[in-house]
Every structure is written in C-alpha cells, then in structure tokens.
Structure 1
Amino acid sequence: MSKIRITKQFSFETGHALYGYDGKCRNVHGHSYKLSVTVIGTPITDTQNVKFGMVIDFGDLKKIVKSEIVDKFDHATVFNKNTPHVELAEELKSRGHDVILVDYQPTSENMVIDFAQKIKKNLPDHIQLHSLKLQETESSFAEWYASDNN
C-alpha cells in the first residue's frame, strides 16, 4: 500500500522577544504565525473502519496540534526563561497575561523544533510526523523535516 502525506494548516498569534539579539526583534513584538503540519502513513484499508481510506482523520490531527500548540501559544508571549525577560514575564503574568517560558531562544527555528517534539509524542504509532513549516512573516519561515533529524 502506498504511503501518503497529508497536511493541515493552523494559524495563531504569538508575541516574543529575542534577548541579546542585535536588531529590532530584541523588543517585544508579535507575529501571525502559520503552521503547516505534514504527517505520513498508509490509508486505512479496513472497510469496516469508520476512518476507511484515511491516513489520519484531519479532525484527530487538529485535536493534537490545537491542544499541544495552538491553544497554548495563541495570544501568549514567549520568553526564554534564562534571560532577564523573566522579570517582565512575571509582571505580565501578574496582570493576567498568558506567558510561556521556554528553555530556548524563541526563534522560529527553535519553536519548530519544540513543536515537532510535542506533536510526535501524541501521534498514533502508525503515523509519523513528516515535516513542519512555521511561517513567521509573509516571506520568512522555518522548516523541520523528519528525514533531516533521524
């Protein structure tokens, strides 16, 4: 049976700041991120299965990505927990803002690595994560491919 790749796209708004960066992105700012999630697998051949013909139900993939990424990162601000931004993060939290502290510099490159790990651990055993594309702006994006990370 043929292996098939399917892709679902997601959008979310997230703020961040890059501590120590030598450009404008050292300031707190936000992006309208677009995340494309591509998985690979074999379509279900059991005619009695309600998911017959599907690699994975798009709705099931949506549940995983929404719970692990979109619902957490949408309208939140991400800071590296090992920077002085922690003080700002605590101030924002005390005022009711959603803040995520991560152990990495919150660049698109590092975020897509983090997202890959979160998605992979929640996929069914017969489905593999093929790739992620995290678009930060209209012309800038980071990509993660399983084949590059074996």
Structure 2
Amino acid sequence: MNLAKFARRGYVSSATPLEAAPAFSKALGGKVNVFIKRDDLLPGTSGGNKTRKLDFSMADAIEKGADTIITCGAVQSNHCRLTLAWAVKEGMDCHLILEERVKGSYKPEGSGNNFLFNILGVKSTTVVSGGSDMMGEMEKL
C-alpha cells in the first residue's frame, strides 16, 4: 500500500531506532539476533506505535472538518491516552468510552492514564461493562 497518498499530521517525523537485545538473543540460544523497535520514543504522552496510526486518523478527521473525537478502549487504554493528547494538540474536544473488562477493575484515582486524561482535559469519560457494544456506545454519545 502506498501511504504517500494519505494525509498525515506529521506526528512521526522520522524512523525510530532499533536496539539490540543481546540478553534476549542469548536467552533464545544465541541463534538469532533480537532487536527492539523503540516506538516508545515517539512523541505524544509516551507515543508508542499508536502514534503511527493517529498520524493518519487525526489527519482524516481534520480533513473532514471534525472538531470532536470520540474513541474507546479498555480502562487502561494507551490508545485513548494518545488520542486525547493529539486531540488536545489539534484543539479538538475528546470523549472517551472505557470498557471495564474485569468487573470492579476501574478505579478513577488508581490509574496513571486517568490522571493524564484529567490533566489533558478530557471532555467526558464513560465507563461501560465488559462485553458492551463499543461502537454502539460511541454512536450513542
């Protein structure tokens, strides 16, 4: 697929480095050299590979005139954290639907991501039970 034809926001400006993992290679018998792609070095509240996807999806939303982003994920979703961070950077509102996949696991004060959701200015956070129709929940919002 030729990605050049798709709009991007420029969140990912260069390739992230590969680092050798000699101890891991040795643990595998030394017959393979293992390398780790350092996407954790990408920008945006500890970027990770989700920043690569958001580089395209946020560009698409902006191109279509969106002023609000709604997304979903598990209660500890890094995708939600990153989507919110990029929405804030772009001056957009962001609403999150969080799925509590393990009953009783959602603790608003016990989560680093929730702390960041609040600092970054999430417009709303809705927590639904595990197995919920997440697309339906987003459409309802």
Which structure shows the bigger proportion of residues in strand conformation?
A: 1
- TM-score (normalizing by structure 2): 0.25
Q: Which has the higher contact order (CA 8 A, sep 6+)?
A: 1
TM-score (norm 1): 0.24
Larger helix proportion, structure 1 or 2? 2
